[in-house]
Structure 1
Amino acid sequence: MEINFIALLLAAVVTLVTGFIWYNPKVFGTIWMRENNFTQEELRTGNMLKIFGFTYLFSLMITVILMSLTIHQSGAVGMVGGPPLLANAKPSFAAFMADYGTAYRTFKHGALHGFMSGLFFALPIIGINGLFERKSWKYIFVHAGYWMLTLTLMGGIICAFA
């Protein structure tokens, strides 16, 4: 199973593109700013190179785990020790990959698993943090909604093209 690193690099851009749209004042940005007591002027003072750079780096980390969650064949490859040891795998591995090598490798399937990751990982994590930080449900749902949409798109791209 070859990994398409370009697809992973592009999937990581989704967090930035989705964020530009989701947190735009005409979408959810005004709610987000109000819930965090931010002003436009305060937001302009941030080091955007650092923010976007680390966002992209963290997004690349997310693509690695999403690859395991969306591409079921990753489990079979992992069972034989990963790509370096494929040549040493038993014939049953080759037979399995011949039968199921491209099964469930669609955008739709990856999007489903990406959405489930958002619903069952991102929402609870953001919810727990938000509750302890005494944030509102609006705050929790704005961020969780962003991550559910973002992970859905990332999962679809990764499953279909990585």
Structure 2
Amino acid sequence: MNWIAVFVSALATLVVGFIWYNPKVFGTVWMNETGLTREELQKGNMLKIFGLTYFFSLLIVIVEMTLTIHQSGAVSMVGGFAKVNEALPSFKAFMADYGTAFRTFKHGAFHGFISGLFFAFPVIAINALFERKSWKYIWVHAGFWIVNLTIIGAIICAWL
């Protein structure tokens, strides 16, 4: 595992969020749809908010890693990374032939996008529907996560 790639890709949510929720992009729409004002937003504990956002992003990256890197399934079949050295020669031959297959920026971006569209979007939409939020609200947040997961998938798959 390349821990630098994990830590860097987790920064995507903070960087994209800084741009996405800027009043010149979708921030004004988001504030209107949530009923928040700039004054209310400035009252928040930013260290806590950004710190927890980064921590939760690390968890998301770990899950996204298993969705974008197909070799994770092969490694899990032999009992995880701790058991790789004990694996049969057929596993080592398989990894020699296919260990880097589909390990590209483009492939990771594709799986990240699919994760956003078919997982994050429905979760956000379900919660928002029960909270009686608008479709604008849903698309602002779903778009944010689709972009984020696309970037996270791309970084993690190409760099790891």
TM-score interval (norm. to shorter): over 0.9
Structure 1 ranges of 4+ moved more than 4 A? none
Return the letter of the residue paired with 1:62: I
Task: Give the C-alpha shift of residue 107 in structure 1.
Answer: 0.5
* 1:59 paired residue number: 57
The percent of aligned pairs where both chains have the same amino acid is 68
Matched position secondary structure for 2:102: coil
2:22 corresponds to:
24
Whole-angstrom distance in 1 between the partners of 2:49 and 2:119:
23
| TM-aligned CA deviation for residue 134 of structure 1 | 0.1
Q: Secondary structure at the match of 2:11?
A: helix
> In the alignment, residue 115 of structure 1 is paired with which amino acid?
F
Match of 1:126 in 2: 124
Counterpart of 2:54, as a letter, is Y
1:36 Cα offset (Å): 0.4
Residue in 2 that maps onto 1:105? 103
Q: Deviation digits for residues 89-129 of structure 1, max 9, x if unmatched?
A: 01110011011010000000000000000001100000000
Q: Which aligned pairs between 1:32-43 and structure 2 lie closer than 5 A?
A: 32-43=30-41
RMSD between aligned residues: 0.4
Q: Which amino acid aligns with 2:51?
A: G
In structure 1, the residue matched to 2:150 is 152
Instruction: Quote the residue 1:89 is aligned against.
Output: 87
1:48 equivalent to 2:41? Answer no
- SS of the equivalent of 2:100 reads coil
Distance 1:5 1:79 in 2: 22
Write the distance in 2 (CA, Å) between the matches of 1:113 and 1:92.
28
Residue 118 of structure 1 aligns to which amino acid in structure 2? G
Number of equivalences: 160
Looking at structure 2, the residues matched to 101 and 87 of structure 1 have their Cα atoms a distance apart, in angstroms, of 15
Q: Give the letter aligned to residue 36 of structure 1.
A: T
Q: TM-score, normalised by structure 1?
A: 0.98
**What is aligned with 1:115?**
113
Partner of 1:5: 3
Counterpart for residue 77 of structure 2: 79
- Structure 2 portions without partners, runs of 5+: none
Q: CA deviation at 1:78?
A: 0.6
Give the distance between the partners of 1:9 and 1:126, measured in 2 at CA. Answer: 25
| Secondary structure of the corresponding residue to residue 81 of structure 1 | coil
